Each structure stands twice: as C-alpha cells, then as structure tokens.
Amino acid sequence: MTTLAERVTRARDAKGWSQSELARQVSLRRTALGKSAVKQQSINQLEAGGVDSPRYLIELADALDVEVGWLAGYEAEPESGTKTDIVRSRTQVVEAPLISWVAAGELADTSDPYTTGDAETWIPIAYRHSNLIALSVRGGSMDQVATEGSVIIVDLNDRSLVDGRHYVFRHEGRATFKTYRRGPPERLEPRSSDPDYLPIYPDDGVEVVGRVVQKVEDI
C-alpha cells in the first residue's frame, strides 16, 4: 500500500465507516460544490494503492476530519507511532494550474511560477510550495508511469537531474514527459508498453521544465 492508501484506511476505520459510507460522505461534499460524485469502487481502488492523489483529496480529508497534508503522506507519524493515531499537519494545500503542453514547453526559460490566467482548471494538491503546474498526459510513451488522460503534477522548482526520475523536458520547442537517463549516452527514455516509442538523445543538452512529483487520476 502507498502511504495515502494506508492513511485513508486508518482514518476511515477510526470513523467506523464502510467504504460505501466514505464514498457517500465525500460525494455529499462534492455535489454541494457542483462536482461529480464518488463511487465505492473508487474508494476501494484508492485504498488498494492505485492512485497517488485523487481529484477529490480535499473533500476526502474533510469527510475524514484529517488534515490534507497528513492524508497525502507529507507529514510524519506521531511520536507514539501507534496505528490508531491520526496526525494533524501543517502542510499547505495549493492549487496547480492545469495548462496545455504548448504552455508548458515555454516554461523552460524561466523559474518563475506560472501566474497567467490561461489555466483550464486548478487542481488542489498537498505540497510544500505553490510553484507547480498540472499537465494532462498525452499518448502512451509513459503509460507504465502515467496513462493517457491522467494528470501529472510538475514541480517547477526541481530541475536537478537525477538518473531514473521523471521530468517534463523541452525538446525541439515542445514539452515532453520522459524518464531521465544519465548514460552514457544521456537520453530521455520512454516507459511504455509500446516498443515503438524510442529514447530521445538531445544533441544540445537537456532543457528541464520540472520534475514530475505526483500523478492524479480519476477512478
């Protein structure tokens, strides 16, 4: 299980709720905001560890009476370390703008936060700072990491290249989501079930937009 999955299960058990009841409580909060309801199957998949950060994270934390940061795994366990403890955290909730891949490709020239008003929507994320963007994944070149249609969260502050980590790069004027491989030779590697996707070998060095730190999927 992921930390998120474990903590959701613990907080739900502390409430004495079934997965169906938790789904109902989350749905009440979402429909009041004009958002879609959540099914019991979604809670089941979440607790199985299949999702890093659901779109309904804030409503989920509210329903469970826990802080978002603790639920998402950014806060440590209490000193007693018992399984029944529910931690209150100070991790901030920030909103990452969901932008286009074209706009993302333009961000390699600057370390400033994305502040323009062109975002399609804003996605709440429990994170350490607000210099983030969200991108909807296109194609299957990284489907072993994030499937097409899922949303990745990119930390624009983190451009230090580490072998094996996932980043959004700018290559030939476009943003591309790949795994960095130091080499030799240095390359941007796909993680795909389709063997037709091939590594990119940048001739003029690597331009980094930011590191991919979370995946958000509707389930």
Q: What percent of the chain has pLDDT over 90?
A: 35
46 with 143, same domain: the answer is no
Tokens of 169: 């790069």
- What's the confidence (pLDDT) of residue 183? 81
In a domain, 164, yes or no: yes
Dump pLDDT digits (tens) for 64-92.
888 777 787 766 665 554 444 554 444 56
In a domain, 46, yes or no: yes
The band of 110, judged by pLDDT with boundaries at 50, 70 and 90, is: very low
106 with 139, same domain: the answer is yes
In a domain, 88, yes or no: no
Tokens of 69: 């940061």
Judge whether 175 and 168 are in contact, CB under 8 Å. yes
30 with 131, same domain: the answer is no
200 with 164, same domain: the answer is yes
In a domain, 167, yes or no: yes
- What's the confidence (pLDDT) of residue 82? 47
207 with 102, same domain: the answer is yes
97 with 205, same domain: the answer is yes
24 with 114, same domain: the answer is no
167 with 68, same domain: the answer is no
112 with 202, same domain: the answer is yes
Among the listed ranges 49-53, 54-58, 94-98, 126-130, which one has the minimum average pLDDT value?
Answer: 126-130
In a domain, 78, yes or no: no
The band of 205, judged by pLDDT with boundaries at 50, 70 and 90, is: confident
136 with 212, same domain: the answer is yes
CATH of the domain at 40: 1.10.260.40
56 with 162, same domain: the answer is no
SS (H, E, C) the chain: CCHHHHHHHHHHHHHCCCHHHHHHHHHHHHHHCCCCCCCHHHHHHHHCCCCCCCCCHHHHHHHHCCCHHHHHCCCCCCCCCCCCCCCCCCCCEEEEEEECHHHHHHHHHCCCCCCCCCCCEEEEEECCCCCEEEEECCCCCCCCCCCCCCEEEEECCCCCCCCCCEEEEEECCEEEEEEEECCCCCEEECCCCCCCCCCECCCCCCEEEEEEEEEECCC
- What's the confidence (pLDDT) of residue 89? 43
Per-residue b/e over 12-24, b at no fewer than 16 CB within 10 Å?
Answer: beebebebeebbb
- The residue ranking higher by pLDDT, 216 or 115, is 216
- The residue ranking higher by pLDDT, 32 or 66, is 66
Mutual orientation of helices 57-64 and 19-32 as an angle, nearest 10°? 120
The band of 141, judged by pLDDT with boundaries at 50, 70 and 90, is: very high
38 with 107, same domain: the answer is no
Print the domain residue range for 13. Answer: 3-72
In a domain, 42, yes or no: yes
- The residue ranking higher by pLDDT, 89 or 41, is 41
- What's the confidence (pLDDT) of residue 74? 65
The band of 95, judged by pLDDT with boundaries at 50, 70 and 90, is: confident
CA distance 207 to 219: 33
In a domain, 87, yes or no: no
Among the listed ranges 44-48, 120-124, 134-138, which one has the minimum average pLDDT value?
Answer: 120-124
CATH of the domain at 103: 2.10.109.10
- What's the confidence (pLDDT) of residue 192? 95
Domain count, the chain: 2
Among the listed ranges 36-45, 102-111, 190-199, which one has the minimum average pLDDT value?
Answer: 102-111
In a domain, 48, yes or no: yes
pLDDT at 178 over 50: yes
